[in-house]
Amino acid sequence: MADVILFSFYVLPTIHISLRLYLSMKSFIVIFMLLSIPGMAQQPNNHGKLKFLALGDSYTIGESVAVDERWPVQLAKVLRKKGIDCADPTIIATTGWRTDDLKHAMEKANLKPEYTFVSLLIGVNNYYQGKSAESYTPEFEELLRSTIALAGGNKSRVFVVSIPDYGYTPFGKDKQAAISAGIDAFNAVNKSIAQKLGVKYIYITDISRLGLVTPDLVASDGLHPSGKMYNAWVERIVDVIH
């Protein structure tokens, strides 16, 4: 009987301590394995919601349409309808911005790498204001690299949207051929860089070229997309990112 008591006193606590040590080591191994999975260590803490950052110019801020018709806002709504808990998008975009304007705004905003996915659509004002595709190239690549960093370095959570063609609007129709050629040149640049960096590229320029034959795809200002056109963009974007 004394032997049993002594065994309980000396051995059982030792077993208990050993079990706790075993479980702790096992937990450490599991965590280490998870962190070893590519991209896992960079996943943002979104408190249960997906966080969407949209970067761009008038096409992203939705010039001449209501807030709920902006394409990033429409995209968030569509994702929610699909059962995805998506927060309202953070939009950093202003009508008239070139690539350098967006870069300065991003620096000023002091953004953190916490976004579930990030979009980039920029370049029409580089073209409109007489900048060359050659000068656009390094500026766009720098922006896209910064965009990837804001997604925690996970390229699969970043997408580039092509520049729409405003030559197919009442504002641009008189110079449609020249505008279309310029937009194609700039899109060749951003597509090439997106492919180079391994980022999804979503081409919506063909949708914008329906603006003259389908007038309700153009906003009341005769230049920018309407909410209906943005909805068509969103349908294509969702097919790629979801």
Q: What is the pLDDT of residues 85-100, one digit of tens each?
A: 999 999 999 999 999 9
DSSP three-state, residue 218: strand
Residue 91 backbone phi and psi in degrees, to 5? -115, 125
In this prediction, residues 29-36 reach a mean pLDDT of 34
- pLDDT, tens digit, 9 for 90 and up, residues 171-229: 999 999 999 999 999 999 999 999 999 999 999 999 999 999 999 999 999 999 999 99
CA angle 233, 145, 102 (to 5 degrees): 65
Which residue matches tokens 């804001």?
150
* Burial of 71 (C-beta count, 10 Å sphere; 0-12/13-18/19+): buried
The rounded distance, in Å, linking the Cα atoms of 131 and 66 is: 30
> What pLDDT shows up at residue 47?
53
Contacts of 115 (CB under 8 A, 6+ apart): 44, 51, 52, 53, 90, 150, 151, 152, 157
pLDDT over 80 (residue 40): no
pLDDT over 80 (residue 17): no
pTM of the model as a whole: 0.81
